[in-house]
Amino acid sequence: MKISLLNVRSDKTNCVNKDFMGGYGWAFNAGVSLPARMINLIKALGENLPIMSFGYLGAVFSKKGVEVEYGENEIPKADIVIMQSSMVEHNLEMKWARCLKRAGMRVGFIGPFSSAMPQLFLRECDFVIKGEPEEAACRIAGGLVPEGIVESKFIDDLDTIPFPKWDLFPYKSYSYFPALKERPFLPILSSRGCAYTCNYCPYLVNYRYRQRSSGNTLDEIGYLIARFGIRSMLFRDPVFTLDRQKVCEIAQGILDRGYKIKWACETRLDKVDRELLRLMYSAGLRVMNVGVESYSEDIIRKASRKPIGMPHQEEMIRFCDEIGIRVTIFYMFGMPDDTEGSLLDTIRYSKALNTHVAQFFVFTPFPGTEYYDKVKGDIYEKDWERFDCYTPVFKHKNLSRERILELKEKAFVSYYYRPGWVMKFASRALRDMLGR
């Protein structure tokens, strides 16, 4: 038996990543004006991340003695083809599934979108693996012929899952530039899922929160350095510093083992402090991605997200600036109780924080989330590819579709095309050149 892990990609000029937003994917789009299109181009030229689940599936099948390959936009010669489902490339994925079935191959999908809406995919494919795919992959390797909805159980002990088999992939092409310039670069997970309960969160659909041990995580870092020569990495955990003790063990372990590596992570600002940030920086942390979402704590709270106290939030951002950690902040436009005034406040606040990167998403209802069920009657967009995290897709009670898009573009353009950001960006670049 031969299995092909197939990634199909369009020729869209904006940056498409199927693995972001919990695996639903996004298609970056700052706007349509010339300044906004320049931001789109810079984003598309720099960032290129692999699909984490494919790395793990490659490792599972290889360990079980099954021949497995990875391909992009090419018709494989295989018995079973597994594709990653996404919202942002849904139409293209369906087209390829039809083509592969006509060629006589068994075709299936993984990912939270197909898990949440399997019947949508089963129109064109043979099977959908529902849930994290590794357990089902073990059964397929053992002879199971996948058909229809294949329920895949959670593997409780994440340390038992083999490290992703990145040698099947074009790993030298992967990049997290401009956030991290060092290459080779690869992603890593020290946990899965999220322990919080935001009603719009895509990470709650396909995953349950579990942690790897710090020792197993450190072993993988050492393996990635020795086998692939990586010089930078991104922890893909939604809240990397949720378990402070484990993060301290990982950071101290990086130092004790002599790993020379720069890295990035995503977390919440109420889950870091000065002591922890100092340790993480000494171990190689250079970029931290955090969600602020909105200037209004009331709007955040009404969306079932726990707000972060502004004094602590601002203190942590200033401290990161002081010691040399670049901060990326995620903002959300069109949250359920947003108004034009609240979005303008958020734009002003983003400039006041003046972080290395600011991302302005459009609030998107992901199938399988509590919020999707709440607003599905108000969804006017029929094309799933428009659920790209930068385009309004449902009727907002306070804002028109056009106004949300206008304010999103205003946020991007007014943020990056201003002297305050350019000067700070230049000073950070100089600090990097001097080795800080």
Q: Does position 435 have pLDDT exceeding 70, yes or no?
A: no
Q: Let me know if residue 167 belongs to a domain.
A: no
Instruction: Look at residue 186 and tell me whether its pLDDT is greater than 90.
Output: yes
Q: Give the model confidence (pLDDT) of 361-395 as tens digits.
A: 999 999 999 999 999 999 999 999 999 999 999 99
Residue 14 pLDDT exceeds 60: no
Q: What is the mean pLDDT of residues 93-110?
A: 97
State the burial class of residue 303 (Cβ atoms within 10 Å of its Cβ: 0-12, 13-18, 19+): buried
Q: pLDDT tens digits for 286-321?
A: 999 999 999 999 999 998 899 999 999 999 999 999
pLDDT-based confidence at 429, cuts 50/70/90? Answer: confident
What was the pLDDT predicted at 47? 87
For the chain, what is the mean pLDDT?
A: 95
Res. 158: pLDDT tops 70: yes
**13 pLDDT exceeds 60?**
no
What percentage of the chain exceeds 70 in pLDDT?
Answer: 98
Residue 196, pLDDT above cutoff 60:
yes
Torsion of CA 107, 110, 116, 122, to 10 degrees: 0
CATH label of the domain that carries residue 27: 3.40.50.280
Examine the domain organization and report whether 190 and 137 are in the same domain.
no
Backbone angles phi, psi at 326, to 5 degrees: -80, 135
What mean pLDDT do residues 104-110 have?
97
Q: Is the pLDDT of residue 432 over 80?
A: no
Count of structural domains, the chain: 2
Same domain, 110 and 185: no
**Does 189 share its domain with 316?**
yes
Q: 16 and 89 in contact (C-beta within 8 Å)?
A: yes
- CA nearest 321: which of 240, 436, 435? 436
Report how far apart, in Å, the C-alpha atoms of 360 and of each of 100, 133, 180, 189, 334 are: 37, 31, 20, 25, 10
Residues 180 and 144 in one domain: no
In a domain, 305, yes or no: yes
Q: Which residues contact 432 (CB under 8 A, 6 or more apart)?
A: 181
**Per-residue pLDDT, 303:** 87
Q: Between 359 and 197, where is the model more confident? A: 359
Per-residue pLDDT at 10: 86
Task: Locate 238 and state its tokens.
Answer: 């939604």
Shared-domain flag, residues 401 and 283: yes
What does the pLDDT read at residue 275? Answer: 98
- d(C-alpha 64, C-alpha 140), whole Å: 10
CA angle 182, 183, 184 (to 5 degrees): 150
Q: Does 386 lie in the same domain as 246?
A: yes
Domain CATH for 382: 3.20.20.70
| Structure token digits, residue 280 | 């993480």
Q: For residue 363, what is the DSSP state?
A: P
Residue 143 forms part of a structural domain: yes
| Same domain (yes/no): 181, 147 | no
Q: Does the residue 119 lie in any domain?
A: yes
pLDDT at residue 56 above 90?
yes
Residues across the chain: 436
Are 273 and 417 contained in the same domain? yes
CA-CA distance, 285 to 38, in Å (whole number)? 28
Domain-located, residue 267: yes
Structural domain containing residue 371: 174-433
Q: Tens digit of pLDDT for each residue in 405-415?
A: 999 999 999 99
- Residue 164 included in any domain: no
Residues 118-151 have pLDDT tens digits of 999 999 999 999 999 999 999 999 999 999 999 9
Residue 219 and residue 70 share a domain: no
114 and 184 assigned to the same domain: no
Tell me, yes or no, whether 120 lies in a domain: yes
Residues 80 and 190 reside in one and the same domain: no
> In this structure, is residue 17 part of a structural domain?
yes
Residues 179 and 132 grouped into a single domain: no
